[in-house]
Amino acid sequence: MDRRRWLRLTAGALAGGLAAGCASVAGRRRWEDTFAGIRPARISPERVIRVDVGLRPYRSEGFVVRAESFAGKLLVHNYGHGGGGVTLSWGTADMAADLVTGGGRVGRGREGDVAVIGAGAVGLATARLLQRRGRTVTIYARDLPPDTTSNIAGAQWSPTSVADSLHGPFGVQFEDASRRAHRHFQTLVGPDYGVRWIDNYFLSERPPGIPGYMARIRDLYPELEDLEGDEHPFPTRFARRVVTMFIEPPRYLRALMRDFRVAGGRVVVGEIADRGQLAGLAEPVIVNCTGLGARDLFGDDGVVPVKGQLVVLRPQPELDYLTIGGGRFSRGGSQYMFPRADGVLLGGTFNRGEETLQPNARQTDRILEVHGALFDAMARKVG
């Protein structure tokens, strides 16, 4: 528990014990008793510092982690994570490393140096785990951080928007990847990697259910509690609080690239245009972490771009919580607020099939409008 949260809970407990007619008498607590330190985000067009757009590599059937022979080499695929790329990166990287080193289903794996294609969150995690297993690794990438899609991800630890269904064999694979990733990220908590635990509030007007992705890994969302009415400071009827990890991509990816280089990793910048060029690489093992690029490089038409647009406001350091949804304020759309050191991120969009990286002005206006309505109403509630 971080110092801010400890102070907030301690202050709330003292206030609750001293106030007349407090929650202990009524049998229910009020939001002031526990969440008095929560302040609303300040939303206005004047606070906007940039608009970020990225394309998620979404597969309706879910991510791919499998091995095959290619041009006399071992080729391991690790791509197609949709909206869960950062979240699942260490989990699917661990699975891919198993296939390389023989801990998976391809027998003894393959000895020798490894080429990792792609330098986003998935590629960097894969490269680092292979280094830890004693392999010499070269990353081949068109773009490096901070110019990758991973750099503009919201990066709350929560494996959402990964597949259309989590039933059947993929559901088992999804759960395995989630659990492995969750454990790896815990070892990175701290300022060096920009990973921290944080409260996350799912806001709604109806009693919240357990979404499918969360049902399979319910134990990875500690301290889950459902709050109603005056039990929370938000202007919606319900607020579900869970504790999740939150990743600051600019700091996190920079730290991973540093670790990769310190461990002797080599980086080659340039685009792998076709499989002939891939076959010509010197390394006998290749791990494909190209994300959306797998569609063209390997002919996987199941990979589709999903455009995400974020409006970034000037940083507001006192914000130390996340919000997902907005109840009636969302007006049928999606929204979330993630405070990072480089700015307050407001989302969101999930436009399947859109490939343009140009911001949509109407989406920007909508995102500002729904968040402005939510946090203005919150300000009135909390005074």
- What are the tens digits of pLDDT across the range 258-286? 999 999 999 999 999 899 999 999 999 99
User: For residue 50, what are the contacts with CB-CB under 8 A and spacing of at least 6?
Assistant: 312, 343
pLDDT of the residue at 348: 83
| pLDDT band at residue 94 using 50, 70 and 90 as cut-offs | very high
Q: What's the pLDDT at 145?
A: 93
Is the pLDDT at 237 greater than 70? The verdict is yes
What pLDDT is attached to residue 256? Answer: 98
Identify the domain containing residue 60 by its residue range.
Answer: 56-186+263-302
Instruction: Give yes or no for residue 345 having a pLDDT over 90.
Output: yes
Evaluate whether 310 touches 60 at the Cβ level (below 8 Å). no
The whole-number pLDDT of residue 331 equals 81
What angle, rounded to 10 degrees, do the helices at 121-132 and 85-101 form? 40
Residues 357, 334: Cα–Cα separation, whole Å:
20
pLDDT over 70 for what percent of the chain?
Answer: 89
Q: Give a yes or no: residue 280 inside a domain.
A: yes
CATH code of 270's domain = 3.40.50
Evaluate whether residue 201 is within a structural domain: no
Residue 156 lies in a domain: yes
Instruction: Express each pLDDT in 25-60 by its tens digit.
Output: 334 556 666 676 799 999 999 999 999 999 999 999
Asked if the structure places residue 141 within a domain, the reply is yes
Number of domains in the chain: 1
pLDDT band, very low/low/confident/very high, at 209 (cuts 50, 70, 90): confident
pLDDT-derived band of residue 171, with 50, 70 and 90 as boundaries? very high
Q: Report yes or no on 150 lying in a domain.
A: yes
pLDDT above 80: residue 371: yes
What's the pLDDT at 251?
96
Instruction: Determine which helix (DSSP H) or strand (DSSP E) holds 253, and give its type and residue range.
Output: helix 249-262
Minimal CA–CA distance to 257: which of 84, 147, 127, 142?
Answer: 127
Q: Calculate mean pLDDT across residues 112-120.
A: 96
Rounded Cα distance between 200 and 229, Å, is 17
d(CA 294, CA 146): 21
Distance CA 176, CA 63 (A): 13
Burial class of residue 132 (count of CB atoms within 10 Å of its CB; 0-12, 13-18, 19+)? exposed
* Furthest C-alpha separation in the chain: 77
pLDDT, residue 3, reads 40
Mean pLDDT of the region 202-226:
92
- Please give the span between the terminal C-alpha atoms of the chain, in angstroms, as a whole number: 27
For 66-77, what is each residue's pLDDT tens digit? 999 999 999 999
Q: Nearest 5°: phi and psi at 164? A: -70, -30
The residues, any chain, with a CB within 8 Å of residue 132's CB and separated by 6 or more, are none
Q: In the structure, how many helices (H) and strands (E) does the chain have?
A: 11, 15
Amino acid code (one letter) for 96: A
pLDDT-derived band at 103 (thresholds 50, 70, 90) equals low
Answer yes or no: is pLDDT of 85 > 90.
yes
Mean pLDDT of 79-93: 97
Q: How far apart are CA 373 and CA 326, in angstroms?
A: 9
pLDDT at 32: 66
Distance separating alpha carbons of residues 135 and 206, to the nearest angstrom: 51
Closest CA to 5 of 231, 221, 319, 381: 319
Give CA–CA dist 237/327, Å, rounded.
8
Structure tokens at 136: 């010499």
Confidence of residue 15 (pLDDT cuts 50, 70, 90): very low
| Alpha-carbon span 197 to 38, nearest angstrom | 16
Classify residue 282: in a domain, yes or no.
Answer: yes
**pLDDT confidence of residue 383:** 77
Q: Is residue 139 part of a domain?
A: yes
Burial 308-336 (b: 16+ CB within 10 A, else e): bbbbbbeebeebbbbbbbbbebbeeeebb
Q: Would you say residue 210 lies in a domain?
A: no
Residue type, 169: P
